[in-house]
Structure 1
């Protein structure tokens, strides 16, 4: 949840009188996306993003209300319960706006542009993300979660002002949007000397400005894994070893693995913690996080010589294979933060009386000390498990052999897992191409481990699924859900699928993977690179933002950097390789202003420019 934001440059919110509204109904009940279908019983007349919604907005001269979220999002569920099922708010939306619901996991390019709009105004954004857009396609006002009284007030005020001053509002939104449109991309004739070293210096400098050297990770409030940055910092540690950086990386990886970000029963990581000490997470589990974190811990085990990180990676992949696998070889998008009873984290939390009933006194003595289950639970629904005392310390305190403590902890875990299996946790079964590409890369790396047959078999099934089910008529699709293709693939789908297939081919020599890499790469260049730079999607009705000289890291790595890396690993000469090298030197002012957010691009520069 982030704060409310408005396009302040519009001043007083300022349309032609609306034409008579065409009767509409909620169109989401049968949608294959679990996030969209869960809104199918709302009294709001939700439409899907597409030409029909735009035609209605233009015909009736109404603002589109575009609400973007995802199935595992806690505050999305809260806003649905409080506002979208509220009859009065539904009436305001239905009468005055064209309400459009977007699954951000199916429309990542649209969501990214809306996020950029809100962030440009307020410096931060989040989900649920709600943006009012003019019939021409220019964003006007943006909000995130609002309580129902404030949300209703906003709807009334916007409807009134659009009725009174819509032409002026539309003109101001148009002018503001056009002023931010990029011009043609200017590429340097040749990369400047030592660009990579200059970038790396800036990256390290900003890393130390953001790093929490006491608790690990970055920032002073919520803590996210920041996998793209950590992977690049591990690569930098190989290039230029530094004891301070080594200590910070080890601290961060240890804290993420031992504290509340990780599920200590079933394996896998949650999306982020709400506090700076990694204690209490928002409880959604995302495929993209766990695929990347498995790769990260395997990389760290090699760079930092820490075999314990291999165990973390294995347990993360075991969770994915056990709990996210769908029929046919693909993997589901996420597990919800909210259990079947509507309790955030309820699936993972334990009341003291449950622990006492399920475990023997000897087992309870070990887990209380190891997981810090003494005193009152920190959350209303119960204890969240995290390592408070190392097991060796617990064994000494209880005056027992370490082997006995391990046996009792293992027995307690089995019992708690069996009890947790009786609970119900909703799953979003969408199989998203980009995220499955990230997982294929992780399985390729894991397939090189000893005793890795399960990972190799899972990787082969995923490889076959990607080529047979996510590739249609010469193009990738965004996802499959409910047996149907949903969404058009964007640049991240191509980038991570190409990366995954390349990694799988390098590990296994699979001919099918090798044959598909170049056609996918060519399609990506054709669809997502143009005179204004890199685009997130082939087309958009939204008239805000366009091409970028370089794409930043987000929770996943820069897709443009990934595509450039694969291009230069395959093309040693020729026009495409020359263009790729020039693109690595593009956008230098952007990269040097915020190098931490362009870590993957910087790493690619370090790898491929002299």
Structure 2
């Protein structure tokens, strides 16, 4: 078996716990919120919470082991709308904070600062629940192995989860340990790529069958995949354009073009300022979720350029130019780099 070198570090929870936090080690703060000295904008946003947050550090797990406490890991990023909502509803609440402080060691993680940590626990939550997102909230044993994971919770649901997990930990620690071992094993297996040998055994028919199965989930009228919300998924579009060009599959070609057209004409594309918003809250690409991500727009710049090459559609060239103008005007920092995102919230709204 060959482990993928890019994510090898993330494959091992044990190795992950041995990675110290970025920069200087945090001070040994027994009580209180310890995020005030952090440089991450996301961690700074939680520095005034009554929760006794700590930044990621291996010593926290050692303390949890000595105190017999579970560790609560909450992962997000500064422009994440639902991260802000859960903070205001839940993490700023004194009664919630008191319960968390009494029963858990609580860690806040900026996924843009620690993608290695996010990779491990996002994989765990996807294995446990079938989906993921942010804020990513995971409860783990003192050895770092997860026993519960989810995304946004209402205040009432969060307290219910904490109470149920804490009772289970007190009544059946061995059962939770065995479950955590299975999840940790699943994380490692997901990140293992089997060796295929020297000769390629890829079967073009298998690709055709996979595309055929995928077609059943397409929204042929509005493009993209069927569902109550729509994400742009640039990698999917890139594959479809390449596949349809190489195979001559007209259905895939038509779906790729429908998706590009609908996205460019919808509200998910900023018709005034250029650039694409994060995702659509409806099936018609009409009402966007208003944050803008650098990685979405960087990929879509490539996608619409590729679409212009494939379809010779001048509108795609115009969209690509508008994306580029937006990135240079609004996302480029004075120092020369690029900001990662524009927040969906403005002045608390």
TM-score, length-scaled by structure 1: 0.50
Structure 1 match to 2:198: 190
Unaligned runs of 5+ in 1: 1-21, 344-610
> 1:116-135 residue pairs with structure 2 within 5 A?
116-135=123-142
Structure 2: distance between partners of 1:153 and 1:300: 48
The residue correspondences of 1:492-503 to structure 2 (distance < 5 A) are none
How far did 1:43 drift? 0.7
Q: Mean alpha-carbon deviation: is it higher for 156-165 or for 50-59? A: 156-165
Q: Which has the larger radius of gyration?
A: 1
Distance 1:265 1:169, change over 3 A: same
The answer on 1:43 being equivalent to 2:50 is: yes
1:178 offset after TM fit, Å?
A: 4.0
**1:32 maps to what in 2?**
39
What is the CA–CA distance in structure 2 between the aligned matches of 1:299 and 1:176, rounded to whole Å? 40
Taking a change above 3 Å as real, the CA distance of residues 163 and 262 of structure 1, as seen in their structure-2 partners, is: same
Q: CA deviation at 1:153?
A: 2.3
8 Å Cα contact 1:29-1:38 kept in structure 2: no
Give the Cα separation in 1 of the matches to 2:273 and 2:168: 52
1:266 aligns with 2:262: no
* 3-state secondary structure, aligned to 1:210: coil
Residue 167 (structure 1) shift: 4.4
Deviation at 1:189, TM superposition (A): 2.4
Q: Is the 8 A contact 2:124 2:183 kept in 1?
A: no
Show structure 2 runs of 5+ residues with no match.
Answer: 1-28
Q: Does 1:245 align with 2:234?
A: no
Alignment of structure 1 residues 299-448 onto 2, 5 Å: 299-340=306-347, 342-343=348-349
Q: 1:242–1:196: structure 2 CA closer, same or farther, 3 Å change rule?
A: same
- What is the CA–CA distance in structure 2 between the aligned matches of 1:116 and 1:298, rounded to whole Å? 32
Structure 1 residues 184 and 237: CA distance shift in structure 2, 3 A: closer
Bigger shift: residues 37-46 or 106-115:
106-115
Quick check: 1:246–1:304 contact (8 Å CA) kept in 2? no
Report if the CA contact (8 A) 2:51-2:100 is conserved. yes
Distance 1:215 1:175, change over 3 A: closer
The alignment partner of 1:224 has SS state of coil
TM-score when normalising by structure 2: 0.86
- The alpha-carbon distance between structure 1 residues 227 and 176, as it changes in their structure 2 partners (threshold 3 A), is closer
Of 271, 286, 294, the match for 1:279:
286
Aligned twin of 1:152: 159
Task: Give yes or no for contact 1:62–1:135 (8 Å, CA) kept in 2.
Answer: yes
Summarize the Cα distance change of 1:292–1:186 in structure 2 as closer, same or farther, 3 Å threshold: closer
Q: CA RMSD in A?
A: 2.2
Paired with 1:206 and 1:114, the residues of 2 have a C-alpha distance of 29
Distance in 2 (CA, whole Å) between partners of 1:181 and 1:250 is: 38
SS of structure 2 residue aligned to 1:322? helix
Q: 2:47 is paired with a residue of what secondary structure?
A: coil
Aligned length: 321
